[in-house]
Amino acid sequence: MAGVTPQPLVARVAALRDVFGRQFGAAPTVVARAPGRVNLIGEHTDYNDGFVFPIAIDRDTLVAARPRTDRQVRLYSDTLRRASQWSLDAIEPSRDQPWSNYVRGLTRFLEEEEVALPGADLAIASSVPLGAGVSSSAALEMAAGTALLALAGVEMEPSTLAMLCQRVENQFVGVNSGIMDQFISGLALADHALLLDCRSLRYEHVALPADHVIGVADTGVKHGLVASEYNARRVECDEGVRRLQEVLPDIRALRDVSPEHLATHATLLPERVARRSRHVVGENARVLAAVDALRNGNLAAVGELMYTSHASLRDDYEVTVPELDVLVDAARGVRGVVGSRMTGGGFGGSTVTLMERRAASQWERSVRRAFRERFGRPPATFITAAASGAGLVLS
Ligand code: GLA
């Protein structure tokens, strides 16, 4: 079915306050929000010290909070209708309640950063589709982090909080993900995409063209191997760097390798590692070219770069699935579509499509028809503008 348009923020905050009152018998003292994301281009480049170009979507996670004095954390998800509880003196990952680990990990790392948390009651409500590859976990981490910092009365740069949340994924949840998802959730600006250099963490907001929107189509495919396949790609990239260092001793990451260098030295690499490296090196160049083209108003070039990115992720990086390929092909045939590609880690998840606003309903019809013909069910689709990053909505 087509995505449901979320209720306005005020109504969602009021509903969450009610939920909080019913769960914990008191009103929250703060409410924070943080958005999910789609990446326009720059996939599997963040953990290679490269460039990414994501936007925040207008689907977000709200976290309402109130301090406690007994070092207990009580967490309730209205979205999942589940509760979980732990003590700040014994923070371990939960096997039965894996959804709570994003917040558990956060409380551990905030404590390690000497953010004094007295304990907290927390309630979550999210309009970010879960498991669709649009970073519902980063939205939860960033919203919960913003709320917990407010409870502790501590100010932290959003980029520092993003890095802390990335540690939660890497060291607590066990996915070796890069910095992109948390960073865009924290630092997004409405109507802009964000060009991020994942090595220096320098960033620039780049205006998106007026009268254009972003379409998101979710394959509904959830691959059980996402974490292991993702981590395997990282290992292959590291192997590429190690072998190339024999002839290019100054490189630290694939970010430092030019397409020309790679072409000259590709024979040093096992075939698969050569293809993985070719994707990353080419993708970094594509991000910078796409940002230039966008600034020059050359949308046709942006679109071609998005399609080339998808083909590279399909053929060289091997992280697409047929469902993603069908959605991209169907989008390509629609008048007014600028470009389309898979977004996020892959192995399922969603596509991102940049298009003229007036193309949106035709895009939705076309991708749904093509997908249904091939797979016998429709994908979930929604249209979004570029939204702003995490913040407090009640304090
Ligand atoms: C996932 C990770 C990100 C990034 C993308 C691929 O979304 O969380 O850090 O690596 O995959 O670009």
List the CATH number of the domain containing 236.
Answer: 3.30.70.890
Q: Crossing angle of helices 299-315/271-295, nearest 10°?
A: 170
If you average pLDDT over residues 5-13, what whole number do you get?
89
- Do 187 and 295 reside in the same domain of the chain? no
Counting from 1 in the atom list of ligand 1, the atom nearest the Cα of 133 is: 7
If you average pLDDT over residues 255-280, what whole number do you get?
97
Helix/strand/coil percent split, the chain, to 5: 45, 25, 30
pLDDT of amino acid 3: 56
- Do 337 and 234 reside in the same domain of the chain? yes
Q: Is 343 helix (H, G, I), strand (E, B) or coil?
A: strand
Spacing, Cα 241 to ligand 1 middle (Å): 19
- pLDDT tens, position by position, 27-74: 999 999 999 999 999 999 999 999 999 999 999 999 999 999 999 999
Please state, rounded to an integer, the average pLDDT across all residues of the chain. Answer: 96
Q: What are phi and psi of 56, to 5 degrees?
A: -85, 140
- Do 227 and 146 reside in the same domain of the chain? no
If you average pLDDT over residues 211-216, what whole number do you get?
98
- Listed in sequence order, the residues at least 6 apart from 338 whose beta carbon sits closer than 8 Å to its beta carbon are 212, 299, 300, 302, 303, 306, 353, 354, 355, 356
- Do 103 and 53 reside in the same domain of the chain? yes
Spacing, Cα 51 to ligand 1 middle (Å): 12
CATH of the domain at 139: 3.30.230.10
- Do 32 and 159 reside in the same domain of the chain? yes
The residue whose two tokens read 């997004």 is 188
pLDDT of amino acid 233: 97
User: Among 46, 52, 137, which is best to mutate for testing ligand 1, by the most ligand atoms less than 8 A from CB?
Assistant: 46
Which amino acid makes up residue 328? V
pLDDT of amino acid 6: 74
- pLDDT tens, position by position, 222-241: 876 678 899 999 999 999 99
In a domain, 142, yes or no: yes
pLDDT of amino acid 222: 87
- Do 219 and 192 reside in the same domain of the chain? no
Counting from 1 in the atom list of ligand 1, the atom nearest the Cα of 135 is: 7
pLDDT of amino acid 225: 66
Q: Is 145 helix (H, G, I), strand (E, B) or coil?
A: helix
- Do 75 and 96 reside in the same domain of the chain? yes
* Planar angle of CA 251, 253, 257, nearest 5 degrees: 60
pLDDT of amino acid 1: 41
Total tally of structural domains belonging to the chain: 2
- pLDDT tens, position by position, 327-347: 999 999 999 999 999 999 999
In a domain, 157, yes or no: yes
If you average pLDDT over residues 132-160, what whole number do you get?
97
- Do 46 and 131 reside in the same domain of the chain? yes
User: Among 57, 168, 177, which is best to mutate for testing ligand 1, by the most ligand atoms less than 8 A from CB?
Assistant: 177
If you average pLDDT over residues 343-358, what whole number do you get?
97
- pLDDT tens, position by position, 288-323: 999 999 999 999 999 999 999 999 999 999 999 999
Q: Crossing angle of helices 180-187/158-167, nearest 10°?
A: 150
333 closest CA partner among 308, 355, 316, 314: 355
- Do 225 and 245 reside in the same domain of the chain? yes
If you average pLDDT over residues 351-370, what whole number do you get?
98
Confidence of residue 4 (pLDDT cuts 50, 70, 90): low
How far are the Cα atoms of 17, 55, 167 from residue 394, in angstroms, in the given order? 10, 24, 27
Which residues span the domain enclosing 185? 9-206+388-394
- Do 220 and 123 reside in the same domain of the chain? no
Which amino acid makes up residue 363? W
Asked whether the beta carbons of 39 and 310 are under 8 A apart, the reply is no
In a domain, 341, yes or no: yes
In a domain, 1, yes or no: no
Backbone φ/ψ region at 53: left (φ over 0), alpha (ψ -120 to 50), beta: beta
**What is the Rg, in whole angstroms, of the alpha carbon atoms belonging to the chain?**
21
By annotation, the residues acting in catalysis are 181
pTM > 0.85: yes or no: yes
- Do 217 and 202 reside in the same domain of the chain? no
360 closest CA partner among 198, 176, 187, 216: 216
Q: Whose CA is nearest to atom 11 of ligand 1?
A: 345
In a domain, 180, yes or no: yes
In a domain, 61, yes or no: yes
Confidence of residue 264 (pLDDT cuts 50, 70, 90): very high
In a domain, 3, yes or no: no
- Do 159 and 241 reside in the same domain of the chain? no
